[in-house]
Structure 1
Amino acid sequence: MSTKPDDSDAVYANLVDAHCHPTDHPSTLGCIPKLRTSRLLVMGTRSEDWEAVEQLATDHPAKVVPAFGIHPWFAASATDASLATLKALLARHPAALVGEIGIDGVARDRATMEVYPLAPQLEIFKKQLLLAAETSRRVSVHTVRAHGHLLAALQDHLRDDDKTEQNGDAGDKTQGRERSIAFPPAVMNHSWSGSVETMRAMLAMKPGGDRLWFSFSTGVNGRSPKTPERIRAVPDNRVLIESDLHDAELIDAALWDACRMVADAKGWSMLETAERTRRNAKEFLGETC
């Protein structure tokens, strides 16, 4: 479906970029206040860029939601000190997400040209997932050709939680109930490229499945003929859009294209798609619609 040209202001007023990296391209940060896109969820990927994300959120509190995390590409260099710094950052920013974290099965270290090993990725991912659960933070997850590992990691987290409840003091029922839902309040799978079957298996998890969102970008998802089917499979109230861009000057156009991609797949108008994804983003963030 198409939208009239005079609807563009209304569309942009509702667009929320659920995942982007403008601090990686600092020369374009000056255009952030001028973006027509209403809000940006800005990702941190390693301790070296957390300060820049924090400053951007401080400079533009109405526009930028910060996220701090250790990306799977940098998992091998993560330390206990990194995690301690991450915990302190979250304490300073009560609305911040844990992100971008995750698992990547194909990316290569540019220095060695070897695929990043999975073991350290899984270890740091699980530690950050636990931190997000313990601090009740939303999460943004990166997964590339490792969706089975992601599903297993989420299921392991829930099983470990059940073991804690079963091994706890039987007389402390309140503690048991709290541990049984020790899962992050919301987990967004950014630029989802996994199968519909894996998505459905994740949504069926109890607890946890009711806390999952799936986001799409044209830069990653626009290349796959399977994307429309994946978008259609996402519950209407769990779909998000994103740019996944580093250059802030390109975010408006990329978000418009992502909105169009979801609109075409769902059979919605552009304005309906923008409004729905805005409401979904607010729910993901735990905000009142």
Structure 2
Amino acid sequence: MVSNPLPHSDILHHVVDVHCHPTDAPSISSSSMENLPITICAMSSNQSDQSRVRNLASAYPEKVIPCFGYHPWFSHIISVESGVEKKQHYRNLFHDMIPDESKILEELIPGLPDPIPLEDVLKDLRRNLNDFPNAMLGEVGLDRAFRVAFDYYAVPRKLTPFTIPIDHQLKILHAQINIAVELGRNISLHSVKAQQYTMDLLQQLQSEHGEEWTRISLDMHSCGFSAQMWSDIQKKYPNVFLSLSTVINSRSSNHRSLISACSPERILVESDFNNVDMCAERTWDMVQTVADVKGWRIETEWAEGLNEADWGVVRRLEANWGRFRAGNHQLVASKRRQKQKQQEWISDSEEDEQMV
């Protein structure tokens, strides 16, 4: 992909990469961080990078918004039950999935880490979120396509036939989200081939938490949903935003229809990249795509005091990020509920008239 030149730093200063993985790279130089012209939301994924994200955010608090949580690709190393032995944990998780592949399972288990009790994961998550008042929950989510590898970090990576049971993923995800809701923290959510499970989860969370749920925001990162499904989501859930990345979404032309379907006030941009030297460039690529689809002008200089009608793409995206961070979204009553409330009001009014 050939990227256009980046704009002046005065413009880039207002750009936010809402999802990236800078600590996944072997090393991050101080010069790379000092030269980073945008703000980044640095995601955690597994046990090893929670502390790396902490350290990066502590060193560069003006540029890094830390995000803590366990990615669904690593949810199999978390045990819902306390005190379960390693072999038993993985046998319980995978054995019933592919009965004829018990030999592969026994070959896989020795290379997997000891399971981490969910209670320990949640304790560490709570500590990290409390230590960083601006921190988010991320990257967390659901993935029905990912297959467990014999060695995740090997090149090339040798995959097994095993996927992580969706019920297990949901337990891990739900527990993490409950803490985010309790602490009022926004969420970056991964969803791959789990559209209906994600829709069901959103409905469940709204039902469980009510106004506490809409107090926070949730970003569907590198969203691959259909435009119709996204339209349904944004009608039902005022706190759900959408962000796209060229590294993932540009593989399909669907991302342009998603941008078109998305409310102008709900769209965000990301790089989803693990090389911090490329985050600004990759994020700017998506800024340009959003501008092209939405018909928004691209700023060539930064001007203050503009009317909203004169805003360019960067200012609009910055305003969206502000709405996302602020949360406190208003639930939109369904037409049925609105009609019911209207009927109740009319009934009360008639009763009052009879009492006069």
TM-score, normalized by the shorter chain, greater than 0.5: yes
The answer to whether the 8 A contact 1:67-1:97 is kept is yes
Query: C-alpha displacement at 1:88, in angstroms?
Result: 1.2
Q: Deviations over 1:134-177 (max 9, x none)?
A: 11100000111111110101112223x2xxxxxxxxxxxxxxxx
Match of 2:259 in 1: 231
Alpha-carbon deviation of 1:197? 2.0
Q: How does 1:9-48 map to 2 (within 5 A)?
A: 9-30=9-30, 31-37=32-38, 39-48=39-48
Counterpart selection for 2:125 from 71, 78, 86: 86
Question: Letter of the aligned partner of 2:41 in structure 1?
Answer: L
Post-superposition CA distance 1:211-232 (Å, at most 9, x none): 1110010000111111111011
After superposition, the C-alpha distances for 1:13-59 in whole angstroms (9 at most, x for unaligned) are 2211000000111423430220122x000001122211000010000
Distance 2:63 2:248 in 1: 24
Q: Which AA in structure 2 matches 1:24?
A: D
1:119 is the counterpart of 2:167: yes
The question of whether the paired residues in 2 share the 8 Å contact of 1:11 and 1:270 is answered with no
Aligned to 1:75: 75
Select 2:292's aligned residue among 253, 264, 269: 264
2:192 pairs with 132, 135, 144, which one? 144
SS at 1:204 equivalent = helix
Distance, in Å, in 2 between the alignment partners of 1:188 and 1:29 is 29
Report how far residue 274 of structure 1 moved. Answer: 1.6
Q: 1:182 aligns with which of 204, 212, 232?
A: 212
* Letter aligned with residue 127 of structure 1: A
Report the TM-score when normalising by structure 2.
0.70
SS in 2 for 1:284: helix
Identity of aligned residues (%): 30
Tell me the secondary structure at the aligned position of residue 291 of structure 2.
Answer: helix
Matched, 1:274 2:314: yes
Which shows bigger deviation, 28-37 or 222-231? 28-37
The 1:191/1:6 distance shift into structure 2, 3 A limit, reads: closer
Question: Does the 8 Å CA contact 1:191/1:216 hold for their aligned counterparts?
Answer: yes
Q: Give the counterpart letter for 2:40 in structure 1.
A: L
The answer to whether the Cα contact below 8 Å between 2:6 and 2:281 also exists between their aligned partners in 1 is no
Q: Is the 8 A contact 2:68 2:135 kept in 1?
A: yes
Match of 1:156 in 2: 204
Provide TM-score, normalisation by structure 1.
Answer: 0.86
* Change beyond 3 A, Cα 1:5–1:97: closer
Root mean square deviation of aligned Cα: 1.8
Partner of 1:245: 273
1:166 alignment counterpart: none
Number of residues of Structure 1 aligned to a counterpart in Structure 2: 262
Moved over 3 A (4+): 4-11
- Larger mean CA deviation between 248-257 and 108-117 belongs to 108-117
- Could you tell me how far 1:109 is from its partner in structure 2? 1.0
Query: Quick one: structure 1 residues 224 and 90, their matched pair in 2 at CA, closer, same or farther if it must change by over 3 Å?
Result: same
Q: 1:66 is aligned with what amino acid?
A: P
What are the ranges of 5 or more consecutive residues in structure 2 without an aligned counterpart?
79-117, 151-159, 300-311, 328-356
Bigger shift: residues 143-152 or 25-34: 25-34
- Relative distance call for 1:5 and 1:106 in structure 2 (3 A) is closer
1:212 to 240, 243, 252: 240
Matching residue within 218, 224, 228 for 1:197: 228
Hey, what's the Cα distance between the residues in 1 that align with 2:51 and 2:180?
19
SS at match of 1:246: coil
Query: Relative contact order (alpha carbons < 8 A, sep ≥ 6): 1 or 2 greater?
Result: 1
> Is 1:254 the counterpart of 2:271 in the alignment?
no
Secondary structure (helix, strand or coil) at the match of 1:75 reads helix
What is the match of residue 54 of structure 1?
54
The residue type equivalent to 2:324 in the other structure is F
Residues in 2 aligned to 1:158 and 1:286: alpha-carbon distance in whole angstroms: 18
**Aligned AA (2:266):** R
- The answer to whether residue 135 in structure 2 is matched with residue 96 in structure 1 is yes
Q: Describe the shift of the 1:245–1:5 C-alpha distance in structure 2 as closer, same or farther (beyond 3 A).
A: closer
Report the Cα distance in structure 1 between the residues aligned to 2:7 and 2:42, rounded to whole angstroms. 26
Higher helix fraction (1 or 2): 1
Unaligned runs of 5+ in 1: 162-178
Cα distance, 1:67 vs structure 2? 0.4
Offset at residue 264 of structure 1 (A): 1.3
- Structure 1 residue 107 and structure 2 residue 114: aligned? no
